Chains A and B, each alone.
Chain A
Amino acid sequence: MNHDIDVKKMRINCFRQSKVPGEFMLQMRAPGGMVDAKYLSSIEHISKTWGDGNFHFGTRQTFDIPGIKYENIDAVNEYIENYITEVDEELCDVDMDKVAGEPQEWDVKSGYPTIGARNITACVGNYHCICGNMNTYELARKIEPIIFPSHYHIKINISGCPNDCNKAHMCDFGIIGTAKMEYHPERCIACGACVRNCEHGATRVLSLNEDTGRVEKDPCCCVGCGECVRACPAGAWTRSEKKLYKIIIGGRTGRQTPRAGKMFLNWASEDVVLNVLRNWQKFSAWVMDYKPEYLHGGHLIDRAGYKKFKEIILDGVELNPECLVAEDIFWHETEYRSNFNVKPLSMHHTAGPQGE
């Protein structure tokens, strides 16, 4: 086989190189992992017409269609115009004529303009789940226009509750839906069901005070999951109407130093989440000296140092009164090679503008 293909350009276009020379796998964005089921027939059409007839669930909840031959990519791109327009432009209100906020006209026949900011994944959330505290795909659709299209890389995972089925702890920027729980002692029958549920399924912060017949809580450590609400037969626990979020940063998998993310914000409002994300691009650009490269967000935070990250990412963000911010973060990584970070100074990475 003799091919002359710019695979990097293909990748930016969301066509991933196959081990079979000349073949590619298309990855179609589905923000929050939720789209109208009617698109399944488009997926089938692409797969049967240009792919190898199979379909794979992308690990980032993209529709993945393998086995697309290079020469068919133009036809596929033309066909997915409709999907991109309907899902990204119309459903998520994405401005397709900008990249990272800068004007850049989108050629509608050319497929996805960038791969940098990855598809936002989400568990099904309270659209369906009895544990969920919020609608995950609606939040994803609000975030999509903030991060896409952009060459700056970010992986965002959303979980509807602290059960974190969607692994907010294992990505650059994890969002977990919570609520503050309100106790209505006048409705409490002192049955202890909430205490037991919190103990078995959450943080063991509740106890029944036998002298007062009331439930007491150690509020510092409540994760805001709502297991107490679910357990209560009398409606004596309710979720506050205001949706609040935990933001978990710096989680990653990978060949070097995988690690679970750590909590950056607790009890953040939706506005705070969105405003923080509006600063992500600025932060990434600063760390990489304005040259986007493929790096996990966690590595960017490592290079800048958490305190610098905090400074840039919170710039101009007005925190809601409940919101707590990590003063510092102490990571715990798996170092496949011990003392991985100890190396000649010349091998150290840089962060921030390097001058000429």
Chain B
Amino acid sequence: MGYSLNPDQTAELLNRLAEDYRIYAPKRFPKQGRYSDTDIIRYDRIQTPDEIVWDQKSDYPAKEVISPIQQALFYFTEDEYRESKKAKKPVLLLARPCDITAQLVQEKIYAENGGFKDLYYDRVHNKVKFAVMDCGGGDDTCFCVSMGSNKPENYSLAFKFDENGLKAEVSDDCFADYFDGMPEDDFTPEFVEENELKVTIPDLSDRDVRLALKSHPMWKEFDKRCISCGSCTVACSTCTCFTTRDICYGDNPEVGERRRVTASCQVAGFDQMAGQREIRSTAGDRMRYKILHKFHDHKARFGDRHMCVGCGRCTHMCPEFISISATVNKMADAVDEIKASLADGGNHVE
């Protein structure tokens, strides 16, 4: 069922929803950007429709609502521990198509990987309903269509905001009542069919090609350009890596809490093991790892889709202007070169 709401009715709808849901949406934080007098847009709890930023992509991803940058897992005293409290009220999360598709990847890692369900993910995720927001085709860093993430399926509501209010479609009946008495409309959501930016992901099924790619000089470029800051992975809709930290209260090491903290494969020391050995010790190595993980390894392991959903947030947030789409295209060129050389008698490319 579709509806068309004016601004007052939109506010009324949010009021009704807020009775039963904590509503999260992209919100503007004025002057909190990396550079002075620039804003940041990130997910936060909202109360009124004017807080919702629907015409600009958020800088940080929707995943923060479900798997925050930091969270307390449990509290411990000498021989006891207590699980951190879970929020009781369900969440309504207003997110773009790429964000919602990204949750499939998050789910795979947190809830299906290794036959183990992450309690702290699951207990939040279970309480989340999604409202997909029309993104108007995104911006010039988006390539969701290339990554097949432009048409999510797992959503309860579809919203299209504009200056005149909101058009909505209810696809999950449990939301029907909230629209009681609201003007009906034949609105059905439309999803972006083509991005300005198109990315071709090279076929890496051949082990020899992958081996040659590993030592290809293209990665060296990033030793010079990438500062290993991790902005790309914190902003990434699909990155899930975290570490845990035990934090002791005061000077008593027996009492404290265990926290889960986001980690980044792009930051030096990420893969440091006992004995201080690092597997990927250069920015180029780390970049190669990230790109292959997003555009080959994840799919090779889990089968269904590439990890990257093409939201473009990594490109948008990189302070050194490293574009993920340009990097994948460079990799595609390198793979063509490698394949030609292998066909040519196996002379490895230097």
Contact = CB atoms under 8 A, between A and B. Distances in A.
Contacts of B35: 126, 130, 132, 230
Contacts of B40: 235, 238
A236 B68 CA distance: 13
A189 B243 CA distance: 9
B261 A235 contact: no
Interface string B305-342: 00000000000010100000000000000000000000
Contact of A229 (B30, B34, B259, B262): B34
B32 interface: yes
A185 B261 CA distance: 11
A190 B36 contact: no
A227 to B, nearest CB: 11
Interface residues of A, number: 30
A163 to B, nearest CB: 13
B69 A187 contact: yes
Contact of A212 (B69, B234, B247, B319): B247
A234 B63 CA distance: 13
B31 interface: yes
B234 A211 contact: no
Contact of B70 (A179, A188, A235): A188
Contact of A234 (B30, B234, B245): B234
Contact of A235 (B42, B247, B263): B42
A197 B234 CA distance: 19
B337 to A, nearest CB: 33
A341 B157 CA distance: 80
A326 interface: no
Contacts of B229: 191, 193, 231, 233
Interface string B255-286: 00001011110010000000000000000000
Given A189-B264, A212-B247, A226-B36, A233 B69 contact: no
A133 interface: yes
Contacts of B69: 186-189, 234, 236
Given A126-B36, A211-B247, A226-B36, A191 B42 contact: no
A356 interface: no
A230 B34 contact: yes
Contacts of A130: 35
Contacts of A232: 34
Interface in A199-232: 211-213, 226, 229-232
B148 interface: no
Most buried by A among B31, B36, B70, B259: B36
A284 interface: no
A126 B37 contact: yes
5 contacts: A179-B36, A190-B245, A191-B229, A213-B259, A231-B229
Q: 3 nearest interchain CB pairs? A: A233-B231, A238-B32, A233-B230
